Structure 1
Amino acid sequence: MTRAEIISVGTEHLLGQIVDTNATFLCTVLAELGIAVYFRSTVGDNVRRVQDVFRHALARADLILATGGLGPTDDDLTVAAVAEALGLPLERNEEAWAHVQEFFRKRKRPLSEQQEKQAMMPRGSRMIPNPRGSAPGVIIEHRDKTIIFTPGVPREMKGMVEDSVVPYLRERGLAGREVIRSRVLRITGLGESAVEDRLRDLMRSSVNPTIAPYAHTGECHVRVTARGGDAEVEAMLARAEAAIRERLGNTIYAADQATLEEVVAKALATKRVSIAVAESCTAGLLGHRLTGPPGASAFLDGGIITYSAARAMAESVRRQAGTDLGIATTGIAGPTGGTPAKPVGLVYLALAHAGGTEVREIHVGTEPGRAGVKYLASQAALDMIRLHLLR
């Protein structure tokens, strides 16, 4: 199997000024191709450090994909730095130069001498077309290694990978016969350690697929990753998901991308159940999350923000709005207002319905801060609605 490394070039990454979505995208694409990503590296705009990172990568990977540092400015130094490290002279790629010239001509922008830098490529390399930007990509085949460079602009990089890089990898036989695919099960109401306790024997006994829980704010995710042929992988994922669902039951609210609010909104709309919201400690966040998915007007008939007892709030808002359900949140979001009897992070939830009113007490602590308390309270309220709709 081809071993890959992804290198993100740019000081802005190290300063925390941008989130590296490029590497995440590339990992997903390579997994679908059956190419294992063993390492991800990030390096600033410095020639020596770029060269060091690439030397390490060449020693441990068959395929290197690098993003960033291909433009015309002084800090766009990736290709030149790597060419120097490999002992390859730079020369103008006429196809790339024609692309740069055409890019500026179409946009009626002046073409400065500095722009020629984008066409300078290591001898023997090939150009990757960039239909969305001025900087072409570069492919270097050096001994038994392949190095692929793309711009760091996500829109440009994604287009080049989909249009040119993926076909190239398949053509060169670097894509595997197997695929690597994951499924993520989203859980609420159980923490990471509780999930692991229930799945420990599955996690230890399963090598392919692998099973791994990881924590998110207000919920836990379980990632199942399988490797094999297309049909084989789907069957493995389905078997593992069934085994996990048997252990975790209704704590699993969705698979893959759906959010809790989307699941609850869909259930309310499908069952034609109307709801009204009364909030104090969540300060409108619960209503905001319920109205995020499209079509909320089909089930959300009202919302108020108030300070009162949860049971009375839920029953009152349901009665006033004339809805099937009334949900209420109240508590101490902080940072002040807590007492020994009612500490910051204490939240009461109430759900009023035709069969009565359920009240739940939760303690989320002070650590999440005010915004965190509000979010966790809204998460628990959404889950309360979801579980009621499953009955």
Structure 2
Amino acid sequence: MTQLKSEIVAVGTELLLGQIANTNAQWISQQLALHGLDVYYHTVVGDNLHRVQEQFVQSAKRSDVIIVTGGLGPTDDDLTREAFQNISNLKMVEHKESMNKIESYFEKQKRRMTPNNKKQARVFAGANVIENKVGMAPGMIVSYQKKTWIFLPGVPKEMKSMITNDVLPFFRQLTGESKVIKSTMLKFIGIGEATLEHELSTLIQQQTNPTIAPLAQEQGVAIRLTAKADTMDEAATLIEKTQSRIFDKVGTYFYGFDDQSLETKVFDLLREKRMTIAAAESLTGGMFTDRLIVNEGASSVCTGGIVCYDTKVKENVLKIAPETIYQRGTVSEECAVEMAVNVKNLLASNIGISFTGVAGPDPIEGNPPGTVYIAISDSQNGHHVEKFIFQGNRQTVRSKTVQKGYELLLKHLK
């Protein structure tokens, strides 16, 4: 199989301004990966003739296939054709079928066609013209100096139609073989990226197919396994073998695949064990409960929660003993335990979890910002409490607290 380096260039100032996201490049990469084609670069360039030309020159030096989206419309800032013509000196001609389609559209709409719309029907002489089945401007596949250029509209539905119906079949002919790439994400919690990589160093050094790529994530760390094979079944088998070797070394930290979140895993375990949970939240202010109840069927595992930010709420609603508050403080191991036990009993759940601490910026009861206590009370196994010191601003401390709560719950349920 011919191994091609592919690149995706998106043309459009609106992408650089952040007015719209570059979802085209993401989608194209996903489709190419499923067909065994490697994408090495994603590039965005604004609607400036000189900069587009510069980018095309750079892309041609490093890639075999350059897929360009956008800049094929009728307006003055649609400059993709002009930029490529300037670097290639290829002749442009009017594509009769596309021109007929554009004229027919305006006739049916009973609108006068402005002259600049003719620009959309201009193609490079000798190009493999791709019909736009859902829009006006055609796409093109152009071979120039042993590089393949694919020009597509930036409108997602037009681009997707061309990729599916024309570009992917073209790639299969170009490579002479249809390979597939399958990727799987393995997610871990309770182990740092450096430690994970150290534990798997031998496997990583010996990797060939599948490849092993450790990644830091908001919720713990992950490993992306990517296998290339003739069929999806063969790729899946390759991944499963390497996955098994990884689990032998760090399986105790594993919690999910691909898009599975930590809270979804906890939710699934609670439902599997037919257990319910209630939360008493001081500094987290309901964040823990919110992340749990976004799951469909949450009423089967979550009886409720109490946001007990004020001391009086802890006393009057959550029934924390006054002597605990005034002798030990609201930010203490003792208060955290009572919060977990009481919310479990008050809301009739199997498990109670509590969060109390100092989000900042000021100390509370002599405790510095970032001081956090998390307690878990279980009807069958008693209670457990841990103290943490988290770094960061107020919101960061609160987010880290919720994540740590889910991590502790995962260990508890497993």
1:7-30 per-residue CA deviation (whole Å, 9 max, x = no partner) reads: 122223333444323222222222
8 Å CA contact 1:96–1:127 kept in 2: the answer is no
AA in 1 matched with 2:153 = P
Query: Residues 287, 116 of structure 1: CA spacing in aligned structure 2 closer, same or farther, 3 A cutoff?
Result: farther
Cα drift, residue 178 of structure 1: 3.1
Alignment partner for residue 373 of structure 2, among 330, 348, 368? 348
Cα drift, residue 163 of structure 1: 3.0
8 Å CA contact 1:183–1:225 kept in 2: the answer is yes
AA in 1 matched with 2:351 = L
1:120-179 per-residue CA deviation (whole Å, 9 max, x = no partner) reads: 222222333444444432222335322112223334433432233212222x23374433
1: distance between equivalents of 2:340 and 2:107? 64
| Structure 2 residue matching 1:249: 3-state secondary structure | helix
Cα drift, residue 65 of structure 1: 0.8
Alignment partner for residue 355 of structure 2, among 316, 320, 329? 329
Query: Residues 160, 222 of structure 1: CA spacing in aligned structure 2 closer, same or farther, 3 A cutoff?
Result: same
| Structure 2 residue matching 1:173: 3-state secondary structure | helix
AA in 1 matched with 2:46 = G
Matched, 1:203 2:204: yes
Aligned twin of 1:69: 71
Structure 1 regions of 5+ residues with no counterpart? Answer: none
Cα drift, residue 241 of structure 1: 0.9
Aligned twin of 1:268: 270
2: distance between equivalents of 1:106 and 1:300? 58
Alignment partner for residue 359 of structure 1, among 380, 385, 406? 385
2: distance between equivalents of 1:167 and 1:122? 21
8 Å CA contact 2:182–2:235 kept in 1: the answer is yes
| Structure 1 residue matching 2:341: 3-state secondary structure | helix
AA in 2 matched with 1:386 = L
Task: Compare 23-32 and 323-332 and name the one that shifted more.
Answer: 23-32
2: distance between equivalents of 1:140 and 1:126? 6
Cα drift, residue 215 of structure 1: 1.0
Query: Residues 290, 49 of structure 1: CA spacing in aligned structure 2 closer, same or farther, 3 A cutoff?
Result: same
1:276-317 per-residue CA deviation (whole Å, 9 max, x = no partner) reads: 122122221111111112111221111111134322221111
8 Å CA contact 2:219–2:262 kept in 1: the answer is no
Task: Compare 56-65 and 240-249 and name the one that shifted more.
Answer: 56-65
1: distance between equivalents of 2:299 and 2:104? 50
Identical-residue share of aligned pairs (%): 37
Aligned twin of 1:338: 363
1:197-228 per-residue CA deviation (whole Å, 9 max, x = no partner) reads: 21122111223222121111231111122223
Matched, 1:217 2:243: no
Cα drift, residue 321 of structure 1: 0.8
| Structure 2 residue matching 1:183: 3-state secondary structure | strand
Matched, 1:248 2:250: yes
Cα drift, residue 33 of structure 1: 1.5
1:86-129 per-residue CA deviation (whole Å, 9 max, x = no partner) reads: 11222222222344345556667664333332222222223334
Aligned twin of 2:230: 229
Query: Residues 372, 31 of structure 1: CA spacing in aligned structure 2 closer, same or farther, 3 A cutoff?
Result: same
AA in 1 matched with 2:267 = A
2: distance between equivalents of 1:213 and 1:197? 11
8 Å CA contact 1:35–1:175 kept in 2: the answer is no
Aligned twin of 1:182: 183
8 Å CA contact 2:4–2:37 kept in 1: the answer is yes
2: distance between equivalents of 1:225 and 1:306? 46
8 Å CA contact 1:213–1:221 kept in 2: the answer is yes
8 Å CA contact 1:186–1:253 kept in 2: the answer is yes
Query: Residues 356, 342 of structure 1: CA spacing in aligned structure 2 closer, same or farther, 3 A cutoff?
Result: same
TM-score, normalised by the number of residues in structure 2: 0.85
Matched, 1:370 2:394: yes
| Structure 2 residue matching 1:53: 3-state secondary structure | helix
| Structure 1 residue matching 2:247: 3-state secondary structure | helix
**How many residues were matched structurally?**
386
| Structure 2 residue matching 1:244: 3-state secondary structure | helix
2: distance between equivalents of 1:263 and 1:132? 41
Name the Cα RMSD after superposition: 2.4
2: distance between equivalents of 1:115 and 1:38? 34
Cα drift, residue 84 of structure 1: 2.8
1:22-45 per-residue CA deviation (whole Å, 9 max, x = no partner) reads: 222222222222222233322221
Task: Compare 247-256 and 8-17 and name the one that shifted more.
Answer: 8-17
Alignment partner for residue 136 of structure 1, among 135, 138, 143? 138
AA in 2 matched with 1:189 = G
Cα drift, residue 340 of structure 1: 10
| Structure 1 residue matching 2:42: 3-state secondary structure | strand
Aligned twin of 2:291: 289
TM-score, normalised by the number of residues in structure 1: 0.90
Query: Residues 77, 216 of structure 1: CA spacing in aligned structure 2 closer, same or farther, 3 A cutoff?
Result: same
Alignment partner for residue 40 of structure 1, among 39, 42, 54? 42
How is 1:17-96 mapped onto 2 (pairs within 5 angstroms)?
Answer: 17-96=19-98
AA in 2 matched with 1:322 = A
Query: Residues 40, 278 of structure 1: CA spacing in aligned structure 2 closer, same or farther, 3 A cutoff?
Result: same
Query: Residues 173, 82 of structure 1: CA spacing in aligned structure 2 closer, same or farther, 3 A cutoff?
Result: same
